[in-house]
Amino acid sequence: MTKGKTGSKAAPSQQAGQEQAARASDAPPAPDPLQQAVTQKMEAQNVDVAQPAPPAKKPRKTRARTPKSGAEDTGENPFRALMRRSRAPEPATLVIFGATGDLAKRKLLPAVFGLWQDGLLGSAFNIVGVGRQEMTDEQFKDFVIEALQTSKETDTPQPGALEKFRDLLYYEFGDFGADEVYSLVRKELDRAEEAHGGRKNALFYLSTPPSLFEPISNGLGRLGLSDESEGWRRIIIEKPFGRNLASARELNDAIHRVWDESQVYRIDHYLGKETVQNLMAIRFGNAIFEPLWNRSYVDHVQITAAEDLGLEGRAGYYEEAGVVRDMLQNHLMQLFTLTAMEAPAAFDADAIRDEKVKVLRSVKPIPVERVPEVAVRGQYGPGTLYGEKVPGYREEPGVQPGSTTPTYVAIKLEVDNWRWEGVPFFLRTGKRLPKKVTEIAVVFKRPPLGIFPGGLERNVLAFRIQPDEGVSLKFSSKSPGQEMVLREVVMDFRYDAFGAQLESPYSRLLLDAMLGDATLFPREDEVDHAWQIVSGLLKAWEGPDAAAPDFPNYPAGTWGPEAADNLIGQDRRWRRL
């Protein structure tokens, strides 16, 4: 089954030569930052090389990660320059399991191409696609180029870039339950070492159905591909990480039989979005906000992740998952923790993730008997969206008649700590809502005394995650005229003010994983506590004693069931986005 292969695995660095020559004409020679970074990384690895955890021992928690580095001066738009990392990872091979799947085609391959074209992946980088579909190297190269040309996520290719990128691509296929395909992957790493020298660094990306996570992890372990004696080895695992608390723990145990926790990167692409990261910057980088970020001034917090789409051909997955597993347990919980966490002791992976875990541990438990008080579920029926009639969930192709799978959930979380005691966090997400929008809204209390005519609205600090990424602050101001009449005004910041297109979340997260920076990747205990919070909902709605829901209970194109308005309580209302 082994295929003979020729040709270099990586194109030369795109811009390094030209930039070095330009700097040499204007300034005295200076140490090359990329070479310094690589040297420092190799020295660090020689001192502390992670080994797979022995089966009989509990794996170590994540160790200290790569420190942040400054922005690179490229002589271009200064805002664009600040968006780039000043260092590239060590030479490495990206191995994508499920490389011909939908996620790889739409998101991963365009993200990798953008990083490579920007010169952020170094000179000795290559990609090995792995799948169960039989395909030659040339067929895989054609597949990738077509995917890049058709995806809306792909950066505009520079002249000749696609042809050079094509030379980085290789493919292996086989049964993920057998050893042969992993042996072929190991040979690919050997070829990479021979072609470029150095260590056999590898990042394994599991872009596969969850049922294959454990078999692939075990297969890599059997062939010794998790061992870091010849180079760093890391594994990225997509969501959902488990189906419930018990299965998540079983999967963690299976992964840890092969990998140390410091090698495991559980990806949540929401954490790669600029505005999510800016939430920490706004909170902890400005003295005017953090003093107000507590129970004394905040009335409540709303976190919304609305989708206007239906199933889009994913009925098989969604019927099994539902909205709690698909969105609430992962995406919304991550947004919640970043909003509610305390200031970390340092801006590094362990410190930030420690604070996120503290928040999850402080959430008031939601046993089955409390679910009716704090949660609402829904399923969309036929309705109208953007002026067109759309079917209900049960009329979607592939959905069982009479399905009780929820497509909407709203939940009230209460945090039992000094900062947030008495401040509810309302999280909601659903399909076939009026528009696609994700937002975090911190709603402040009204002034204690109303001295102006008319009522006063609450101030709102809103973080728009998507679309139109940015931050807005709503407050009251006097209207022009003879009377003292107040009206709401909004100060609005949008990321397009920087004059540069935002990079894909996958670009940021892939580069972080290759650099060994786990800050934006949920840790084992984060995932566990998030499952604990939603376990009561799953038991109440899916258990043997669960009452049949009255579905559908909201028309497509509306903001969800009426019960959600009751959940948020009197003198409050959901934001109409």
Residues listed for the chain: 577
Amino acid 157: pLDDT: 86
- Residue 569 CA to residue 577 CA, distance in Å, equals 19
| Measured CA distances, 249 to 178, 326, 367 (Å) | 25, 18, 19
- In 3D space, the residue among 183, 192, 62, 66 whose CA is nearest the CA of residue 130 turns out to be 183
Q: How confident is the model at residue 500 (pLDDT cuts 50, 70, 90)?
A: low
pLDDT per position as a tens digit, 308-352: 999 888 888 898 889 999 999 999 999 999 999 999 988 888 999
pLDDT per position as a tens digit, 89-132: 888 999 999 999 888 999 999 999 999 998 888 778 899 999 99
Amino acid 83: pLDDT: 46
Choose, from 196, 256, 331, 529, the residue flagged as catalytic. Answer: 331
Amino acid 22: pLDDT: 43
Amino acid 87: pLDDT: 62
What mean pLDDT do residues 67-72 have? 40
Q: In terms of C-beta density within 10 A (0-12 exposed, 13-18 middle, 19 or more buried), how is residue 105 classed?
A: buried
Q: Is 179 annotated as a binding residue?
A: no
Q: How confident is the model at residue 85 (pLDDT cuts 50, 70, 90)?
A: low
For the chain, the farthest-separated pair of C-alpha atoms sits apart, in whole angstroms, at: 85
What mean pLDDT do residues 202-217 have? 93
Amino acid 89: pLDDT: 80
Q: Is 231 annotated as a binding residue?
A: no
pLDDT per position as a tens digit, 529-563: 999 999 999 999 998 888 889 999 999 999 999 99
Q: Is 98 annotated as a binding residue?
A: yes
Q: Is 569 annotated as a binding residue?
A: no
In the numeric block, the tokens 């890599």 are attached to 220
- Residue 338 CA to residue 280 CA, distance in Å, equals 7
Q: For this structure, is 256 an active site residue?
A: no
Side-chain half-sphere CA neighbours of 414 within 13 A: 12
| Measured CA distances, 148 to 157, 223, 506 (Å) | 9, 32, 15
- In 3D space, the residue among 191, 186, 171, 225 whose CA is nearest the CA of residue 9 turns out to be 191
Q: Is 307 annotated as a binding residue?
A: yes
Q: Can you state the angle between helices 180-196 and 213-222, rounded to 10 degrees?
A: 60
What mean pLDDT do residues 152-165 have? 88
- Domains of the chain and CATH, by start: 16-267 (3.40.50.720), 271-449+461-474+491-565 (3.30.360.10)
What mean pLDDT do residues 362-375 have? 96
Amino acid 67: pLDDT: 37
Q: When comparing pLDDT for 72 and 542, which is higher? A: 542
Q: Is 458 annotated as a binding residue?
A: no
Quick one: which H or E segment has residue 409?
strand 408-414
Residues forming beta bridges with residue 301, ordered by sequence position: 425, 442
